[in-house]
Amino acid sequence: MGRVESLLFPTRKERVEERRKERSHGDVRDEVFDRATLLSVSRLVTQGFFQEVDFSISTGKEANVFRVSGPKGFAALKVYRVSNAVFRRFPPWALEDLYRTAGPGSFGRLVFAWARREFNALKRCHDSSVPVPRPRVQWRNLLLMDLVGDAEGRAAQPMIRTPLEDPARTLKELEKGVRAMSTRARLVHGDLSPYNVLMHEQHPILIDLGQTLPVEHPQAAGLLLRDATNFARYFRRFGVDCEPQEIYRRMGGRPTP
């Protein structure tokens, strides 16, 4: 296993910033990459999807995202944690779907079904021209997708940490993207917030689609309205005149009586 780690995780970086990221990455690596996950990563390397795991891009409650690189450039590798604790925060509709998909067996199957669920949602959205990262491959608890970032491999930051040049325009683009998701892909995000919208060259990109649900689901309309209400509150901080019901309608929600 030592040889696999040495191939996947380079120990030297030329730039000071990358060396700093690598030190923090080492701590995250020890937490996330158990033996089974390392073998899964090695499989993707062997298949030519990438060559190296560079450093951690983001650390979440349920998964970590790493920048990876190879001859074809940069990509983002999402590694889902194999732990019971992460599923305690999952809403009932997502858990029901995961149990139905995974079937009886080990807890690992539940995690793999979760990764496959997000991969399928990303593919469905990408094929429907929703602004999401393009998914490349999913294997066990790994999901590889396009890196949202610049040509040098610097990852885009979440909306919550990005100064908005034109908040009103950003809101309109966000509404358009979510509308495409609800009307074309026929999905509702289920947990949308300024924390899981990336800003790439001042354009919003939707991420973290593991909790999506079909628009026909009884809770879909309520969750979309909740997201609209949260974004109305957020954009009002920037002086944008917006109402939750109007945002909800422009996101594809049906008017309420």
- Residues carrying an active site annotation: 191, 208
Alpha carbon of 86 to those of 52, 111, 187, 224, 243: distances in Å? 27, 10, 23, 23, 34
Site of tokens 């300024």: 194
- End-to-end, the C-alpha distance of the chain in Å comes to 61
Calculate the dihedral angle through the C-alpha atoms of 216, 221, 227, 232, rounding to the nearest 10 degrees. Answer: 140
Angle, alpha carbons 79-85-98 (nearest 5°): 70
**Range 198-202 contact pairs with CB under 8 angstroms and sequence separation of 24 or more:** 198/148, 198/156, 198/157, 198/158, 198/159, 199/156, 199/157, 199/158, 199/159, 199/162, 199/164, 199/170, 200/148, 200/149, 200/156, 202/164, 202/165, 202/166, 202/170
How far apart are the C-alpha atoms of 223 and 253, rounded to whole Å? 10
